[in-house]
Amino acid sequence: MPSVFDKTTAVTPDGDGRYAAELDAGWVVGGGLNGGYLLSLMGNAMRAALPGKPDPLVVSAYFLGASAPGAATVEVDVRRSGGSTATVAADLRQGDDTRITVLATFGDLDRNAGDVRTTAQPFELPPIEQCVPNTMAPPEVRRIAPLMDRFDMRFHPDHVGWAVGQPTGEAVMSAWFKLEDDREPDPISLLLVVDALPPVTFNLAKPGWAPTLELTAHVRAKPAPGWLRVRHQSHNVAGGMFEEDCEVWDSAGRLVAQSRQLALLPRPAPEA
């Protein structure tokens, strides 16, 4: 039985670099589908177009408009192939509209897999049973974020002030993460994981939608089975925008993904 994640991120070849997909309503958050979910789905299309280069090494996504549940197409254009990596451009389309445009380089993470000279230190998270499950999110949050049912997320108790009306004032959020169905993590699912937590602006008393302009993810290793640890933080809220840095560590203590996004600060009223 394929997992819900695998079923809802599947793509079907539809001729000459084109892949058909059905965007699943279960991944809605607020006014659209979660960007990380869409990147995993696009990742499946890109890897299908690149035999022998199964793993995303780096993916840069520019978000042009919100996606809606229903039919979509991914068009993949191989820009360079040869040697150990390949670079592609890919667009996610619905009807005549491009929702996301991507550049990405794929390769094989099994090459040099044992070479680890990471000096970054893993961040601290209390034991899972002391963390706050997403199932405890307020009903008004769960109603606009059905994607909460797609994974088991256990928040650092010091970072969930936003959920009880007491934002911490610090632009940091961290949690344990596991997909539903005990679907184990892999390089494709890491593209979801780097964009699954609520935006750190929730802890800055700005609970609205923070539209991502751009997100770049580096996938640095195949994750070991089990829970992942995820942390987002921002150090540069300025000019109506903020950068959000994400680290994902696996159960073996390896830094398996890093991402950074540039997003717009939520505004009190909808944009004109």
User: Cβ of residue 124: shortest distance to a second copy, in angstroms?
Assistant: 17
User: Cβ of residue 176: shortest distance to a second copy, in angstroms?
Assistant: 21
Q: Write the CB contacts of 168 (distance below 8 Å, at least 6 apart in sequence).
A: 158, 159, 161, 162, 203
Q: Write the CB contacts of 21 (distance below 8 Å, at least 6 apart in sequence).
A: 10, 11, 12, 41, 45, 71, 72, 73, 74
User: Cβ of residue 165: shortest distance to a second copy, in angstroms?
Assistant: 21
Minimum CB distance to a second copy smaller for 109 or for 148: 109
User: Cβ of residue 114: shortest distance to a second copy, in angstroms?
Assistant: 9
| CA 142/CA 116 separation, integer angstroms | 39
The structure tokens listed for 226 are 């089990």
Minimum CB distance to a second copy smaller for 36 or for 187: 187
| CA 268/CA 205 separation, integer angstroms | 11
Minimum CB distance to a second copy smaller for 57 or for 74: 57
User: Cβ of residue 192: shortest distance to a second copy, in angstroms?
Assistant: 20
| CA 121/CA 134 separation, integer angstroms | 26
Minimum CB distance to a second copy smaller for 36 or for 211: 211
Minimum CB distance to a second copy smaller for 20 or for 237: 237
CB 157 within 8 A of CB 25: no
Q: Return the SS3 of 155.
A: strand
Tokens 């679907």 locate to 183
Q: List residues near a second copy by CB under 8 A.
A: 57-58, 60, 62, 64-65, 79-80, 83, 85, 87, 89, 98, 101-103, 105, 109, 111-113, 115-120, 171, 213-214, 216, 218, 220-221, 234-241, 243, 255, 258, 260, 262, 271
